[in-house]
C-alpha cells in the first residue's frame, strides 16, 4: 500500500519559515485584518479585505492589487485551531485553486510556520511554482519586517 503523503508529493508545495515572535502574535498576524493589511502579498502588492471570518465554515474575501491590476482572492476556512493550525481552500471569488494547511509551532518565544499547499493536479502545482515560490518568500519577508515593528 502506498504512503498517502507520496500520493500528493508531486502536487504539493511546502514552505517553512521561522519568526522571531511568539506563536500567539504570529497567529494574530495571520488571522486579523489590522495585521494582514501590513504584510499579506508579495513585494509591491497591497491588499484590501472585504470580509474576514476566521472560523470553520467562514470565509475571507480580499483583493490584492499589484502589477497594475486587481487579484480577487477568497479563502474557505475548514479548520481553525488557535494558535496551532489553519486549514482552508484558497482561490478567486468563484472557486478554490488549492488546499492549504498552516501549522504554527511554538519554539519558546519564536514560531515556525509550515505551509502545505496541495493542488488537484501536478500541472497546477507546476504552474503555481512560476510565481508562488518567490511570492511566498517575499510575503514571508514582509511578515518578518512587520513583526519587527510590533516589538
What is the arithmetic mean of pLDDT over 58-73?
Answer: 97
Q: Helix, strand, or coil here: 82? A: coil
List, in sequence order, every residue forming a beta bridge with 101; answer none if it has no partner. Answer: 87, 116
What is the arithmetic mean of pLDDT over 47-74?
Answer: 97
For 12-24, the pLDDT digits (tens) are 999 999 999 999 9
Report DSSP state, residue 42.
S
| Cα of 105 vs its chain's centroid, Å | 15
The pLDDT value recorded for residue 131 is 87
The pLDDT value recorded for residue 5 is 53
Which triple of cell numbers denotes residue 74?
Answer: 477568497
Domains and CATH numbers, the chain: 11-149 (3.30.530.20)
Which triple of cell numbers denotes residue 62?
Answer: 480580499
The pLDDT value recorded for residue 6 is 58
* Phi, psi (deg, nearest 5) at residue 106: -80, 120
The 10 Å CB-count burial string (b at 16+, else e) for 16-27 is ebebebbbebbb
pLDDT tier at 30, thresholds 50, 70, 90: very high
For 95-122, the pLDDT digits (tens) are 999 999 999 999 999 999 999 999 999 9
Residue 139, pLDDT > 80, answer yes
Mean pLDDT of the chain: 95
Amino acid at each position: 500500500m502506498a504512503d498517502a503523503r507520496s500520493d500528493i508529493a508531486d502536487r504539493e508545495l511546502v514552505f517553512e519559515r521561522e519568526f522571531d515572535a511568539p506563536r500567539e502574535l504570529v497567529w494574530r498576524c495571520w488571522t486579523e485584518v489590522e495585521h494582514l493589511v501590513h504584510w499579506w502579498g508579495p513585494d509591491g502588492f497591497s491588499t484590501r479585505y472585504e470580509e474576514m471570518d476566521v472560523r470553520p465554515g467562514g470565509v475571507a474575501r480580499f483583493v490584492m492589487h499589484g502589477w497594475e491590476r486587481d487579484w480577487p482572492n477568497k479563502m474557505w476556512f475548514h479548520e481553525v485551531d488557535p494558535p496551532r493550525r489553519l486549514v482552508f481552500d484558497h482561490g478567486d471569488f468563484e472557486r478554490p485553486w488549492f488546499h492549504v494547511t498552516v501549522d504554527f509551532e511554538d519554539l519558546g518565544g519564536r514560531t515556525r510556520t509550515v505551509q502545505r499547499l496541495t493542488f488537484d493536479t501536478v500541472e497546477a502545482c507546476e504552474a503555481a511554482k512560476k510565481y508562488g515560490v518567490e511570492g511566498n518568500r517575499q510575503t514571508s519577508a514582509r511578515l518578518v519586517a512587520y513583526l519587527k515593528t510590533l516589538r
